[in-house]
Amino acid sequence: MSRMASDRPSGSQILAATAENCTLVAVSGAATFKLAPAFKQATQAARLAGSALIVVDMAACPSMDSTFMGAIASLGFALRKTESPRFVLINLGPAAAALLKGLGVDRILKAYPAGALPAGMGDLSRLVQSLRPVEAAAPGARDMAALMYDAHETLTRVDPENLQRFKDVLAFLREDIKRL
């Protein structure tokens, strides 16, 4: 077992496949800060591959932490430009939808509950069959602290009320980055 795999919660992983200008990223298991590097790697690869649409399937994701939601928000902000690929979340369960809504992330991206898909979305079955685990190198302590800081700072840009929620986390991470 690779070091990265042993660092993740049991069974949690990011899977991805690209075909016909579309990238499917599936979040399997609890979406925590440990999956955020693989999520970022998968979505950056999709952008570099020229995907016109990035679909994040949340069907197998029972929960998310704030770092992972910040990573989603960062992607949402990055892809707001008209020349950028479209980005949607599908199969979002009620608990995950409530978490995103609670932090205001639902205002910057399109999310669809289980069974609902964006108009005109083609058949994703070929992509589903092609999904492969994304093996991101385990980031160093400083890089992980920076990723977590960026994710939480992004959440404060999504909704200013999040500054109160995360001011202690941001202060701790800022000190952690300086120390590292």
Backbone angles phi, psi at 19, to 5 degrees: -160, 145
Q: Can you give the pLDDT at residue 8?
A: 40
Domain ranges of the chain: 3-137
Please, what is the Cα angle at 126 between 25 and 8, to 5 degrees? 30
Task: For residue 54, give every residue at least 6 positions away whose Cβ sits within 8 Å of its Cβ, in sequence order, or none.
Answer: 22, 23, 25, 43, 46, 47, 75, 79, 85, 86, 87, 88
Would the pLDDT of 83 be above 80? no
Other CB atoms within 10 Å distance of the CB of residue 25: 26
The structure's pTM equals 0.89
pLDDT at 32: 96
Q: How far apart are CA 128 and CA 73, in angstroms?
A: 24
- In this predicted structure, which of 30-39, 74-83, 84-93, 107-116 has the lowest mean pLDDT? 74-83
pLDDT per position as a tens digit, 120-155: 888 888 899 999 999 988 899 999 999 999 999 999
Q: Which residue has the higher pLDDT, 110 or 166?
A: 166
CATH T-level fold of 3-137 = Transcription Regulator spoIIAA (3.30.750)
Give me the chain's average pLDDT, please. Answer: 90
Q: What amino acid occupies position 166?
A: F
In this prediction, residue 1 carries a pLDDT of 32
Tell me the per-residue pLDDT of 20-65, one tens digit each, with 9 for 90 and over.
889 999 999 999 999 999 999 999 999 999 999 999 999 999 999 9
Q: How far apart are CA 140 and CA 85, in angstroms?
A: 30
